[in-house]
Amino acid sequence: MNKGFNVNTITGLIEPARHCSSPNQDERPEGAMPELLVVHGISLPPGDFGGPEIEQLFGNNLDWDADPYFGEIRGLEVSSHLLIRRDGELIQFVPFMRRAWHAGESCFRGRAGCNDFSIGIELEGEDETAYSDEQYEVLAGVTAALLAAYPEISARKIAAHADISPGRKTDPGPAFDWLRLYDGIR
C-alpha cells in the first residue's frame, strides 16, 4: 500500500512532491540500482526547523556567513533524494535513478559506497527531538511506494545513516521510532 505516493521508475520522480533539483548528483555506476533506503536527520542551523537552509545547502547557495555553524560545513556539496519537512512537505532533489551525495564514507553489509546503490531520505530534525506525526505518515507512504517500485529494496534493507557510517554519523538518532515506520508500511 503506497498511501497516495507514486514512483515513476522511468523519470525517477515521486508524486506528490515538490521538485527542487540539486547539482550535487551524478550517474550511478553502470548496473547499479536502488537496493537500500537510508534514513537521515538534518537541521540547519542545528536545532532550527522550517527555514530555507537545507534547500540552500543542497542547491549550493547557502550563505556560509549567515550562522557561525555554517563555517564548519563551508563548501560542503551534498544532497539527498528526498527531504520530509516537519509539516510533512515532501521535496525531491535527485531522481532515484541518479546518485545523490548523501551517505559519504559508508558501508552496508560489507558493501562500501552506499551512495552507489541507495536512496537517501532526509527528515528535518535532530537526534534527540521527536519527529512529527506528519513525517512518519509521509515516510511510511514514501517507503511503501519505493518498496513497490524497486523490488531490490526490502524492509530488511532500510538503514539509519548511523548504521552505514558508524562512529561518523548518529542520525536519525534515538528520537527516531523504527517500529512506527515499520508498522506504517504494512
How do beta strands 6-8 and 13-15 pair?
antiparallel
Burial of residue 100 (number of CB atoms within 10 Å: 0-12, 13-18, 19+): buried
Active site residue 152: no
For residue 38, what are the β-bridge partners? 120, 159
User: Do residues 93 and 121 touch, judged by C-beta distance below 8 A?
Assistant: no
- Please provide the DSSP assignment of 17-76 as one string: -EE---SSEEEPPTT----EEEEEEE-SSTT--SSSHHHHHHTT---TTSSGGGGGSTT-
Distance CA 26, CA 89 (A): 25
SS percent in the chain: helix, strand, coil, step 5: 25, 20, 55
Q: Which of 35, 122, 124, 126 is catalytic?
A: 122
Active site residues: 122
